[in-house]
A and B are shown apart, each in its own frame.
Chain A
Amino acid sequence: MGETKKISLSVNGKSYEEEVEVRFHLADFLRQQLGLTGTHLGCEHGVCGACTILLNGRSVRSCLLLAVQADGQEITTIEGIAPSEDEMHPLQEAFRDNHGLQCGFCTPGMLTTLIEFLGDNPDPTEREVREAISGNLCRCTGYQGIVAAALDAAQRLREAKGA
């Protein structure tokens, strides 16, 4: 084992204090050290978007961040987006209803990306949705269902806000 450093961070609202190897990227830390395997790893060089997480509310690639850089920060992963154990996030519901899941590999990155995007742009056009997920590769190439799910989720979120 190489050089290590002690870090403390919040992941999905839970505080962790961990000794981590400094060369570990954040995705490996989340998956291997914290056991949060919902964050997927595809290319590990910032192209596929599968490892996207929220860092202080902003979507970032967790393979392009060292775990030590998350010291003192707030992280949200796919495991942390549902409001409770038996309730899903509107995006999760919309992905299920619109056949947006398919093999599921790109889904965690799609959802974390879309949470930030729909927060900034609650009423997007289809083109804007396509551009927003242009950094997330779906290996099933089934973007149609994903785009439909995103637009459906946007509507659900707007309705929930209005209600």
Chain B
Amino acid sequence: MKPPPFSYHDPSSVGEVISLLGNLENPKLLAGGQSLMPMLNMRYVLPDHVIDLNKVDGLSYINENGGTISIGGMTRQRDLEDSDVIKAKCPLMHDALLQVGHRQTRNRGTIGGSLSHLDPAAELPAVCAAHDAVIVVQGPNGERDIPFAEFPIAYMTPATEMDELLTGIKIPTWAEGHGYAFVEFARRHGDFAITSAAALLEVGEDGAITRASLTIGGVGAAPVRMSDIEQALIGQSGDEEKLRELCEAGREIDALGDVYASSEYRQHLATVMSRRALVKAYDRATGKA
């Protein structure tokens, strides 16, 4: 099992990457390689050119400024996992990262690679959906922002053009003390989730929910925001029976079925994972967990 022959390029600037993308036939960008390398080894992809992003300057950073966290596309998942900024300001991402593969893959895997690969069951795209993240891409005509809601255009297909590079992610943070939870159902620890749920909640002093975000991963072709449930949550307390009832809407998601799980089973898991995530997020917001 060997990768097919290709030409290798290791540019050092974003400008060089974009000009290579524009000039080469059938190129493929190599970020952390935790998805592309298996696909090369098994010859699922046959690129004529591999453009390695690991020597490109300035794509690995985590900054927080005025309610927005900015993350470079080549920031390793392990560096995000260890980041105090992420732990404090975007704890949902920290929760999710602990379920992304294993330490050995997080040591190489990057956030930009994960978002560009856009596996429907991957954790980081679900976190970006939950937080209404903005994806920053750079192309021959400069930089543009893509709201995450418009980023997946089809199964494993991001809105990035062929001559564009994902350079960064901007994540709006939630109020301090907000509740969060990322829960998933997988066959083994570190496997891709069969179904996952990401919840964010802000809760008032009277215990009523004032702001809610609920995302289901692994069920649709891309992470799905459950906006009807989000609206219905406003004003609710964390009563588990009520949450269970609201989460029944998960059975209506247009679900994928495969050899691991039927679409009905995924829809069922969507209801269970949503409830667990909301209960955990509510308990965290109210200091019970």
Contact = CB atoms under 8 A, between A and B. Distances in A.
Interface string A60-101: 110111101100000000000000000000000000000000
B235 interface: no
A31 to B, nearest CB: 13
Contact of A135 (B7, B37, B52, B103): B103
B104 A45 contact: no
Which secondary structure characterizes the binding site on chain A? Answer: mixed
Contact of B103 (A5, A69, A132): A132
A25 B37 contact: yes
Nearest to A71: B10
B286 interface: no
Given A63-B37, A117-B103, A135-B103, A3 B189 contact: no
Interface string B97-111: 000011111011000
B108 A60 contact: yes
Nearest to B54: A69
B8 A45 contact: no
A22 B33 contact: no
A23 B3 CA distance: 6
A68 to B, nearest CB: 6
Give the size category of A's interface with B: 20 to 34
B107 A58 contact: yes
B58 interface: no
Given A64-B37, A65-B37, A116 B2 contact: no
Contacts of A61: 34, 104-105, 108
Contacts of A44: 1, 38, 41-42
A2 B48 CA distance: 12
A134 B189 contact: yes
B78 interface: yes
A63 B7 contact: no
Contacts of A117: 103
A46 B38 contact: yes
Given A59-B104, A60-B108, A117-B103, A134 B190 contact: yes
A52 B41 CA distance: 16
Which secondary structure characterizes the binding site on chain B? Answer: loop
B5 interface: yes
B107 A59 contact: yes
Interface in A1-55: 2-3, 5, 22-25, 28, 44-46, 49, 52, 55
A159 interface: no
A107 interface: no
A55 B41 CA distance: 20
A23 B33 contact: no
Contacts of B188: 134
Interface string B67-106: 0000000000010000000000000000000000111110
A113 B103 contact: yes
A32 B56 CA distance: 29
A31 B149 CA distance: 45
B8 A63 contact: no
B102 A135 contact: yes
Interface of A: 2-3, 5, 22-25, 28, 44-46, 49, 52, 55, 58-61, 63-66, 68-69, 113, 116-117, 131-132, 134-135
Interface of B: 1-8, 10, 30, 33-34, 37-38, 40-42, 50, 52, 54, 78, 101-105, 107-108, 188-190
Given A66-B3, A68-B52, 9 more contacts: A5-B8, A22-B50, A23-B40, A44-B42, A46-B34, A46-B37, A59-B104, A64-B108, A135-B105
